[in-house]
Structure formats: structure tokens, C-alpha cells
Copies of this chain bind each other. A is one copy, B any other.
């Protein structure tokens, strides 16, 4: 393990170093808007389109920072991780670009589109049950067998520094914001956002958005300590995991509030974004818009940066079409 830094030691220079390291491997994604959604919310919404990364998720930022920061002697054994999907395929993408092996543990219920992408990028999948306990137990076996460097999907400061580059671009592209909001699962994107925004735009409020049916970050935030659920169920398949110490560091210090949305609200917001932004986003990415629609008084009149985290969806199983659940 190389990530001897803890979250508390990360500085804005770690974000800047990450940005230089990953620039050849990621896209500076566009920021888009919709007059219709602005009218619906009374806010000015700036959507940062991480779904438009080649791998379809912001997670390529952290994965590339970790993979391209490895010294050759460690990189040679490859990398490994567990992930509900986007970190797995992003780490496979990064490892593929460096030409090193990548082994990932994924829940068997992960969307087929995400499993297919891991394999397309050259990663090897070991499936587990859809619970934190099964995921961690299966991963311990894979790691022992392969000896690869573990790149945790979010509790790794290298990953957090990589995710932090997203809001740095967004602040530049928009010329400043009153608030930013991102989905929260394990808290990697939110932590990176905290690292950047608390340093570069300290007056900008940082919000997180979570499914009601996987609201462990919300309950942790209110209780002042990490509360973890083992196996939550939600259509937002990217937000199933609990906070860990490195993300709790940022969430507990820099987040202004966490809002939640129901399953129906998430699916409705997803369809609204497809219709009016003409972007394919996955359910997890729709949670912030759902909570903005739920809490108009918080956002009305504000310039709000909304991070669209990913767009890896099973196009044959859309959650608003009858008889098709969102869990694959």
C-alpha cells in the first residue's frame, strides 16, 4: 500500500499534481445547461458532464491518478479493487492505458453495461454478493491471490485527489458558483469536491445528495459518526457503499447539508435529464437534480454546479419502463 497519506494531510497542491498527472488520460468535460430545468427549479444549474468521459464516469480521474502515480516496480503487479461498477471499469481503463493487469470484485447485480465495460477495457471480474461484507471478503481473496496494488474506490487519498480535479474544472468553466452538489455513496466525489471548493471557493456551499433507501451518509452526517448499512437497495446502483474514515474527514467538516430523494423521484429526475439535457446519465447521477427539485427554497436564485457523475446504463432496462426494476 502506497497511500500512506491520510485525508487530513491532503492539500490543494495534491489536487493540482493529480490534474497534471491525469490530463493526458481524461477529458475536460463540458458544462451544459437547460433553460427548461432552470425555469423548473428557479436556479441556474450548471451540469458538469462526467458521463462524457470515455469510460462514462468521473471515477477515471481518481483511478488514473492512482495508476499513473505508481512506481514501476509496484505497477508491474497490477492493481485490484472492489466496486459497484464505475470504479471497477475506470480502474480497468487506467490500467489498460498503462498496460498493467487489473482485477476487480463486483456485485453480481451490477449493471451489465458496467461489467461489459470492465472487460472491454481489459479488466478481470470476480463476482460477489451485493453486500459490503461479501464484497470485502471476496476482495481479500483476490488481493491475496494477485498481489496487485489495492486502489480503494473512495477511501484512498490518491483517489480523492483525482476526483477533486472535477470541481476545479467546473469552477473555472462557470466563473464561480453559489453552491455545488454531488451524489454521495462512499463519498469520494464529495470529498474531492470539498478539498477543492473549500480551498478555492470557500464561500461556495457544498451539498450532497443521497437515495432515501441508502441514506447512511445522511444519518451519519446528522449523528456525527459513521453509520454503515450492509446491503441497501436502490436504483442508484453507484451509491450503495458506506462512508469510510478518509471521506468522513471531509463530509463531517465541509459539507453544508445532505438531502435525500425517493426512488420515484430519482427515476423521474433521470428521465427529465435525458429529455431536457439529452444526456444519458445513470440513476445515481440524477439524485442531485431530484433533491434540488425537492428543496427549491435552498437553491432558488442560486448558481448551482451539479456533478453528473456517470452514464453507464443498461439501455435495455430503463427504470421508467414498466416491469423493469433498476437493479439489473
Contact = CB atoms under 8 A, between A and B. Distances in A.
Interface of A: 30, 32, 34-36, 51-52, 54, 56, 113, 120, 271, 274-275, 277-281, 311, 315-316, 318, 320-321
Given A30-B30, A321-B316, A311 B54 contact: no
Given A279-B278, A279-B279, A280-B278, A315 B311 contact: no
B311 A316 contact: no
Contact of A52 (B36, B54, B56, B278): B278
Contact of A278 (B34, B51, B271, B321): B51
A35 to B, nearest CB: 5
Nearest to A50: B278
A279 B271 CA distance: 13
> Which of A36, A281, A320 has the most B CB atoms < 10 Å from its CB?
A36
Given A36-B54, A52-B277, A52-B278, 4 more contacts: A34-B54, A274-B280, A278-B280, A315-B318
Nearest to A310: B278
Contacts of A320: 315-316
A30 B32 CA distance: 9
B316 A278 contact: no
A275 B30 contact: no
A297 to B, nearest CB: 25
Contacts of A120: 36
A313 to B, nearest CB: 8
Contact of A32 (B52, B56, B281, B315): B52
A275 B54 contact: no
Contact of A321 (B51, B280, B321): B321
Contacts of A35: 54
A56 B278 contact: yes
Pick the most buried of A113, A120, A279: most chain B CB atoms within 10 A of its CB.
A279
Contact of A275 (B36, B277, B281, B315): B315
A160 B26 CA distance: 37
Contacts of A281: 278
A275 B113 contact: yes
13 contacts: A32-B52, A35-B54, A36-B120, A113-B275, A271-B315, A274-B280, A274-B315, A278-B279, A278-B280, A278-B311, A279-B280, A280-B280, A315-B318
A281 B274 CA distance: 10
A315 B273 CA distance: 11
A321 B321 CA distance: 10
A80 to B, nearest CB: 24
Q: Kindly name the residue among A54, A56, A120, A278 whose own CB sees the greatest number of chain B CB atoms within 10 A.
A: A278
A57 B277 CA distance: 12
Contacts of A54: 34-36
Contacts of A275: 113, 280, 315
